[in-house]
Copies of this chain bind each other. A is one copy, B any other.
Amino acid sequence: MAKQLWKPGTMIYPLPAVLVSCGDVQRGYNIITIAWVGTICTEPPLCYISVRPERYSYGLIEASGEYVINLTTRALAFAVDWCGVKSGREVDKFKELNLTPQKASIVSAPLIAESPLNIECRVREIMPLGSHAMFISEVVATHAEERWINPRTGAFELSRAEPICYSHGRYFPLGRMLGTFGYSVRKKKKPPLPGGGGRKSKRL
């Protein structure tokens, strides 16, 4: 396992590649693709996005203090890439991509209707860090697309919506599930009999 020592860089991957919608009716809507995004606290639910101040969306989010994180899927991969390259100063991204702005429940920014899960966020603090500023934010509401909710369990099954992630400049869908949380310590229901008499249980 020989390794090369590299200078510091941004190497945490794979990451979500989300579409962040922002703006309001007066200022107009915009969409920006963000990979510098994540959860920072479970209770209360807090998250962040980091944005370059020169991006058009920066001013919109700074002005309203609100935005929506829209999870992305294979069907949205083109939009994810395009919204990361184009500027809202020049194009109406909702219109050009034929995406549907949908009314949020609390914030003024729109949801993207085509996203399977929308997370309404309210900015608590803007932390300038250098090339990017971090918007530390409260999650104030979430919207889950009904078709991905298991009617029996009530669970939201994002994997059925074919979510995508971003890794070193490439977009990927997810592959076949490897295991569920806790599988490494879960007791097998039918352990093999001692002395080799039982069938070997299949390893996860």
Contact = CB atoms under 8 A, between A and B. Distances in A.
Interface of A: 1-16, 18, 35-48, 50, 69, 71, 74, 77-78, 81-82, 84-86, 100, 102, 105, 111, 113-114, 117-119, 129-132, 134, 138-147, 149, 155-159, 163-165, 167-185
- Top 6 A-B residue pairs of the complex, sorted by shortest distance between their CB atoms: A38-B38, A41-B129, A81-B184, A173-B175, A8-B139, A172-B174
A130 B43 CA distance: 6
B144 A3 contact: yes
Contacts of A146: 2-4
A12 B37 contact: yes
A100 B1 CA distance: 10
Contacts of A167: 158-159, 163, 174
**Within the oligomer, what is the number of copies of this chain?**
2
Contacts of A16: 12-15
Nearest to A182: B85
A168 to B, nearest CB: 6
Contacts of A13: 16, 71, 158, 163
B7 A131 contact: no
Contacts of A176: 172-173
Given A39-B36, A46-B129, A174-B175, A141 B5 contact: yes
Given A142-B7, A165-B165, A40 B44 contact: no
A182 B171 CA distance: 11
A6 B171 contact: no
B81 A8 contact: no
A40 B36 contact: yes
A69 B131 CA distance: 22
Contacts of A7: 141-142
Contact of A149 (B4, B85, B131, B144): B4
A172 to B, nearest CB: 4
Contact of A78 (B4, B9, B140, B184): B184
